[in-house]
Amino acid sequence: MKALIQSGRPALGCSLMFPSPQLVEMLGHAGFDWVLLDCEHGSLSSADVEVMAMAADAVGITAIARPRSNSAADIQSVLDRGVAGVQIPHIDTAEDAVRAVAAVKFGPGAGRGLAAGTRPDRWGLGAKMPDFVDQANARSLICVQLESETAIRNARAIVAVPGIDVFFIGPSDLSQSMGYPGNPKAPPVAAAIEQTLAVIREAGQAPGMPATAETLAEVLAGGCRYVYTHLPRLIGAGAGAFLGGRAKG
């Protein structure tokens, strides 16, 4: 997935907020590149994340987890379940971003603890520990969420932090932060989003945003390479198409 994003092509995913490895399998067979396992707003436990990450591996898509918070403990919890990366919420400053990177990567002074026998380490039955550390640091994807007025003001400093793969704009929380809850199309919010997308692109970094079928073309035109939709949106669109046929029958 990191290679796909770095190539300039968009990686399209879907967010799941409740436990279901079967749905992860379906998303893989449907052609999605990745799945977001949402622990911040969803009901997923650590055990659920682990089983759903296994399903993603089995079907050949990338599992990214959104931890419950941006704390190092919550980030490590999902990484130890074997996801390929994290989408870290509420990164407001460059210092927040630096701490997020340290929580994901192993190394001196890092915030991530190194334990043998976890799933990413193939339960201690895979590569030697130093090799595992090198592979994990190279492969783990870090996405940070900019979703407040403070983050928008600090965008240039945040995108300058090394080690981050994707800078994601969260339109819902941003709209709330700016006084237009649930209305990212409000002119001040839309302007802030466009401004921040430009900052990310100018820095040569990969932007990310959520999308629906109706907004996907617009989001991709903004240069976003890390894009996901929500499962209820997919179900709603499919249900609307199916139930709409009743009137024609």
Q: Six-digit token pair at 179?
A: 């006084």
Q: Which residues pair with 166 in a beta bridge?
A: 143, 206
How many CA atoms lie less than 13 Å away from 115 in the CB half-sphere? 14
* Rounded (5°) CA angle 71-77-80: 135
User: Beta partners for 229?
Assistant: 14
| From 29, 41, 90, 230, the catalytic residue | 41
**What is the number of helices (H) and of strands (E) in the chain?**
12, 8
Crossing angle (nearest 10°) for helices 46-59 and 72-79: 40
Known catalytic membership, residue 230:
no
> What angle is formed at CA 66 by the lines to CA 65 and CA 71, rounded to 5 degrees?
115
Residues assigned a catalytic role: 41
